[in-house]
């Protein structure tokens, strides 16, 4: 499914992973997270020895396409969950969950339940849950794909700010070109199956990014570059056949 992926991602960078659906973006993310193991090849999270690998794995967080919250847990308890699973007491876990919730501006809905929140708010809870363990690597698998455009742009902006504040390594899978260009320092484009990396592009955009950037000519040019690479490698065939 994946072929000749030889990739080094520097600590603290923000990487967007683009590609046609079914090309193996999500599979690559699952390999990196250790949820699945590749048939051949390996993923090394830390250049140091094997023991470092285990502790590095513990510093990893994953955000799924749907918020994937537990409906029977309040917002605060959902965010506290990873800490509970890692052995913290409930009270301590809840206390530590307040910080990340404030970071995603949900400090005032602690005791609400997922079914009382909008889709965008649920996704912010999901991000807070990922941040609560202070991960050094944050993996996101098309997290905002199901949301409306405006909500999505706001969340993009927020995620970018979170990254600027925390400087963890972020790998963001998406099929939205503008989102990739807006968020990342580096964009990787994958081909159709078997998935290979066909473009590895450093985005030349300012450090601070706001909604206005989306109308900036540089931004449009960068997006167009990604578009050309994607269309050359079959990403758009689906759409054409579908039409």
Partner 1 sequence: MKHSTWRDLLLSALPPALTFVVVVALWEGVVRAFAVPKFLVPPPSDVLIAVWTERASLGGALLTTAQGAGVGFLLSASLGTSVGLAFSLSRWLERGLYPYALFLQTVPIVAVAPLLVLWFGPGLRAVSVSAFIVSVFPIIANTLAGLRSVDPRLSDLFRLYGAKLGDTVLKLRLPTAIPSMMTGLKVASGLSVIGAIVGEFVAGFSEGNAGLGITVLSAYRQLRTDLLFAAVLLASLLGLSLFALVSSLSTLLLRRLRAPG
Which spans of this chain sit near partner 1 (rule: CB under 8 A)?
33-35, 58, 60-62, 64, 66, 68, 70-72, 81-82, 84-86, 113-115, 133
In the complex, minimum distance from the CB of residue 61 to partner 1, in angstroms, rounded to a whole number: 8
Residue with tokens 């039409």: 243
| Closest to partner 1 by CB, 60 or 230 | 60
DSSP, res 211: G
| Closest to partner 1 by CB, 3 or 118 | 118
Q: Which residues contact 237 (CB under 8 A, 6 or more apart)?
A: 20, 192
CA angle 99, 140, 104 (to 5 degrees): 25
In the complex, minimum distance from the CB of residue 172 to partner 1, in angstroms, rounded to a whole number: 17
| Closest to partner 1 by CB, 11 or 85 | 85
| Closest to partner 1 by CB, 113 or 227 | 113
Q: Which residues contact 100 (CB under 8 A, 6 or more apart)?
A: 79, 127, 128, 129, 131, 132
Residue with tokens 């689906």: 238
In the complex, minimum distance from the CB of residue 74 to partner 1, in angstroms, rounded to a whole number: 10
In the complex, minimum distance from the CB of residue 9 to partner 1, in angstroms, rounded to a whole number: 19
Residue 39 burial class via C-beta count within 10 angstroms: exposed 0-12, middle 13-18, buried 19 and up:
exposed
């Amino acid at each position: 499914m994946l072929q000749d992926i030889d990739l080094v991602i520097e600590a603290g960078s923000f990487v967007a992973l683009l590609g046609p659906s079914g090309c193996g973006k999500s599979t690559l993310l699952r390999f990196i997270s250790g949820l699945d193991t590749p048939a051949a090849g390996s993923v090394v999270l830390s250049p140091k020895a094997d023991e470092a690998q285990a502790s590095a794995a513990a510093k990893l967080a994953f955000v799924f396409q749907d918020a994937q919250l537990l409906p029977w847990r309040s917002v605060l308890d959902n965010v506290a969950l990873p800490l509970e699973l890692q052995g913290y007491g409930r009270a301590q876990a809840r206390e530590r969950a307040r910080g990340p919730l404030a970071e995603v501006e949900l400090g005032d809905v602690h005791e609400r339940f997922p079914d009382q929140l909008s889709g965008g708010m649920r996704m912010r809870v999901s991000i807070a849950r990922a941040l609560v363990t202070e991960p050094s690597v944050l993996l996101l698998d098309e997290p905002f794909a199901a949301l409306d455009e405006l909500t999505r742009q706001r969340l993009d902006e927020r995620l970018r700010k979170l990254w600027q504040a925390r400087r963890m390594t972020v790998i963001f899978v998406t099929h939205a070109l503008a989102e990739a260009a807006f968020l990342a320092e580096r964009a990787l484009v994958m081909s159709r199956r078997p998935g290979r990396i066909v473009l590895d592009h450093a985005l030349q955009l300012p450090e601070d990014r706001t909604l206005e950037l989306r109308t900036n000519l540089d931004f449009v040019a960068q997006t167009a570059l990604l578009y050309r690479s994607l269309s050359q490698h079959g990403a758009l065939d689906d759409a054409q056949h579908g039409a």
